[in-house]
């Protein structure tokens, strides 16, 4: 598309279109800067990708030079993104002008010995070298990654978040056998972050399919619905929380009239919400299961099996071709029979380029039936899912315990009709110390992404723990409920 249809539409953003020639200009300028700085093939290039057209062009430019695109999420607080950049020690960091103005960001890139590249947002002069960051420093740098196209941050399905390597071979596997047989129908409405595995693969697919994409600066339910109304896709996709958001916003059914399916995969969807959505909009909700570690979707329903979605209500379907799944007992490791709940394991040929073969143990609890269909039954760890984002309760608790006034803290998830779950915190203060719920929320917000911030903070005399001194989540929830029932203001010390 960059050569065959340079003036064709590539990216829709904020009511205007960017062409494939715009994308080529950004990519060419990126490659020229990296070549001049002697950042060679296989070298890691950090990409702070916002949901903007020039981010798409920058990504294509990095891949076009056979370099490794190391994804860096821009939604981190200033302290966190600066720490990430320092730790990665990349030979180059590419970021939007907005991010170069963040507190400490420029200094962090300099400390890492990286050259700085700014995405200006200007069509005619889209990419510039940051003044004072023109050369690669002598510091030890991110190790070369031969044949790795992208390093994408996971969300915690198989353990603590980490970057996994997606090979160029995997991207090549996305291509049709005949590149001229492109499916150019419609516009892909991108509702996932470009730094995610879904974003990384969809940008590659858009090129070989010759299919334009529509970007939103941030997910907005009305903007998304308006894009659906404009482009009329048959298969709808968005974070599962969008189901409740559409219902709560009372978006008219005619906005989604073109839809036949709503594919939900990044978080659980409760049955009551999916039933209500199907009743109001007449669009079938089809669940699927995947993770960055599996490079996307691992289970789902084939198009010729959609008649089973209602029969297998709530199921995420069956393993995709070439993928195996099983349920094991977490204590013994033995495989469990149909109907029993245990830990889900996946064996897939699609995995991180540096991952060993064999079974991958997830942190999800699941069960299967006699027909081989799977249901996700919760988490085997402390991770809760908030609007599609995975939040480690232990991580939030650790941040709260770092506050000078806090002696102890526990964080648990509670159900939320729109976001699936939200975190709440129980906090014990140190003697003679004082703080407020808002101050503690702000403390977390400054150190973690916004979706980590507890929606409630309750001050208690002690954290409920068992004989092994482990937090008992159910008792923490009961404690919060008891305080609310007693009409003690949430966030007020109890003694």
pLDDT at 333: 92
Between 176-180, 189-193, 306-310, 314-318, the lowest mean confidence (pLDDT) is in 176-180
pLDDT at 469: 56
pLDDT tens profile 466-477: 544 567 788 888
Residue 196 forms part of a structural domain? no
397, 382, 449, 389: which is closest to 416 by C-alpha?
A: 389
Q: Are 323 and 415 contained in the same domain?
A: no
pLDDT at 181: 45
pLDDT band at 486 (very low <50, low <70, confident <90, very high): low
pLDDT band at 162 (very low <50, low <70, confident <90, very high): confident
**Residue at token pair 């059914």:** 253
Residue 158 forms part of a structural domain? no
pLDDT tens profile 371-397: 999 999 877 777 888 988 888 888 899
Between 52-56, 141-145, 158-162, 414-418, the lowest mean confidence (pLDDT) is in 158-162
Residue 189 forms part of a structural domain? no
> How much is the average pLDDT of 293-320?
92
Q: Are 411 and 345 contained in the same domain?
A: no
Asked whether the predicted pLDDT for residue 308 surpasses 80, the reply is yes
pLDDT at 182: 46
To the nearest 10 degrees (0 to 180), the angle between helices 20-36 and 53-64 is 50
Q: Are 129 and 38 contained in the same domain?
A: yes
pLDDT at 201: 87
Task: State the CATH number of the domain containing residue 311.
Answer: 3.40.50.12780
pLDDT at 145: 82
Domain boundary among 97, 123, 141: 141
Q: Are 299 and 363 contained in the same domain?
A: yes
**Whole-angstrom distance, CA of residue 203 vs CA of residue 213:** 8
Q: Are 333 and 459 contained in the same domain?
A: no
pLDDT band at 175 (very low <50, low <70, confident <90, very high): very low
pLDDT band at 155 (very low <50, low <70, confident <90, very high): low
Write down the mean pLDDT value for the chain.
88
pLDDT band at 284 (very low <50, low <70, confident <90, very high): very high
Residue 207 forms part of a structural domain? no
pLDDT tens profile 215-264: 999 889 999 999 999 999 999 988 887 898 899 899 999 999 999 999 98
Structure token pair of residue 7 = 């003036």
pLDDT at 185: 63
**Whole-angstrom distance, CA of residue 394 vs CA of residue 400:** 10
Domain boundary among 109, 141, 173: 141
> How much is the average pLDDT of 356-360?
90
> How much is the average pLDDT of 336-361?
90
Q: Are 250 and 356 contained in the same domain?
A: yes
- Say if pTM beats, i.e. exceeds, 0.85: no
Residue 445 forms part of a structural domain? yes
Q: Are 323 and 460 contained in the same domain?
A: no
Q: How many residues does the chain have?
A: 495
Q: Are 243 and 100 contained in the same domain?
A: no
Residue 467 forms part of a structural domain? yes
- The more confident residue out of 350 and 5 is 350
Q: How far is CA 133 from the centre of its chain?
A: 30
Q: Are 291 and 419 contained in the same domain?
A: no
First to last CA, the chain: 67
Structure token pair of residue 169 = 């071979």
The Cβ of residue 136 has, within 10 Å, a number of other Cβ atoms equal to 17
Residue 284 forms part of a structural domain? yes
> How much is the average pLDDT of 362-378?
92
Domain boundary among 107, 141, 175: 141
Residues 13/52, Cβ–Cβ less than 8 Å: yes
pLDDT at 61: 95
> How much is the average pLDDT of 396-422?
90
Residue 183 forms part of a structural domain? no
Task: State the CATH number of the domain containing residue 420.
Answer: 3.30.300.30
465: which DSSP letter? B
Q: Are 478 and 408 contained in the same domain?
A: yes
Task: State the CATH number of the domain containing residue 28.
Answer: 3.40.50.980
pLDDT at 380: 76
Q: Are 348 and 230 contained in the same domain?
A: yes
Between 132-136, 173-177, 256-260, the lowest mean confidence (pLDDT) is in 173-177
255, 214, 223, 270: which is closest to 415 by C-alpha?
A: 270
pLDDT at 180: 39
pLDDT at 471: 77
233, 163, 221, 211: which is closest to 191 by C-alpha?
A: 221
pLDDT at 242: 87
pLDDT at 292: 82
pLDDT at 342: 92
Count structural domains, the chain: 3
> How much is the average pLDDT of 440-446?
96
**Whole-angstrom distance, CA of residue 239 vs CA of residue 386:** 10
pLDDT at 487: 53
Structure token pair of residue 118 = 């700014």
Q: Are 304 and 279 contained in the same domain?
A: yes
**Domain extent for 404:** 384-485
């Amino acid at each position: 598309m960059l050569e065959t249809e340079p003036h064709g539409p590539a990216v829709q953003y904020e009511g205007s279109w960017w062409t494939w020639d715009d994308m080529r200009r950004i990519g060419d300028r990126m490659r020229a800067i990296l070549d001049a700085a002697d950042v060679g093939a296989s070298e890691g290039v950090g990409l702070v990708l916002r949901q903007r057209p020039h981010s798409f062009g920058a990504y294509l430019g990095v891949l076009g030079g056979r370099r490794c695109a190391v994804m860096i999420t821009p939604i981190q607080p200033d302290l966190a993104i600066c720490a990430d950049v320092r730790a990665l020690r990349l030979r180059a960091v590419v970021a939007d002008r907005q991010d170069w103005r963040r507190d400490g960001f420029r200094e962090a890139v300099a400390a890492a010995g990286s050259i700085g590249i700014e995405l200006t947002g200007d069509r005619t002069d889209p990419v510039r070298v940051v003044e004072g960051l023109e050369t690669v420093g002598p510091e030890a740098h991110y190790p070369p990654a031969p044949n790795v196209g992208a390093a994408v941050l996971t969300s915690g399905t198989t353990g603590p978040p980490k970057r996994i390597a997606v090979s160029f071979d995997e991207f090549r596997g996305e291509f049709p056998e005949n590149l001229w047989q492109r499916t150019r129908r419609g516009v892909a409405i991108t509702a996932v972050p470009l730094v995610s595995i879904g974003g990384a693969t969809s940008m590659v697919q858009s090129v070989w399919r010759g299919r334009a994409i529509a970007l939103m600066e941030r997910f907005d339910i009305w903007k998304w619905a308006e894009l659906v109304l404009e482009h009329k896709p048959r298969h709808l996709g968005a974070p599962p929380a969008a189901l409740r958001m559409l219902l709560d916003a009372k978006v008219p059914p005619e906005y989604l009239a073109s839809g036949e399916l709503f594919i939900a995969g990044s978080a659980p969807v409760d049955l009551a919400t999916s039933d209500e959505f199907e009743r109001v909009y007449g669009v079938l909700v089809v669940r699927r299961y995947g993770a960055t570690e599996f490079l996307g979707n691992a289970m789902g329903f084939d198009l010729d099996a959609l008649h089973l979605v209602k029969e297998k209500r709530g199921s995420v379907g069956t393993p995709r071709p070439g993928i195996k799944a099983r349920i094991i007992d977490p204590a013994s490791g033995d495989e469990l029979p149909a109907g029993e709940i245990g830990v889900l394991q996946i064996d897939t040929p699609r995995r991180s380029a540096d991952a060993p073969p064999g079974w991958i143990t997830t942190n999800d609890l699941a069960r299967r039936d006699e027909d081989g269909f799977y249901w996700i039954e919760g988490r085997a760890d402390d991770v809760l899912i908030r609007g599609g984002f995975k939040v480690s309760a232990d991580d939030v608790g650790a941040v709260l315990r770092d506050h000078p006034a806090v002696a102890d803290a526990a964080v648990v998830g509670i159900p939320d009709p729109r976001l699936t779950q939200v975190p709440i915190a129980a906090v014990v203060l140190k003697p003679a110390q004082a703080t407020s719920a808002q101050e503690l929320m702000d403390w977390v917000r400054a150190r973690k992404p916004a979706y980590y911030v507890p929606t409630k903070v309750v001050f208690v005399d002690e954290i409920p723990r068992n004989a092994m001194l482990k937090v008992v989540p159910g008792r923490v929830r009961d404690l919060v409920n008891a305080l609310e029932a007693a009409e003690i203001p949430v966030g007020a010390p109890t003694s």
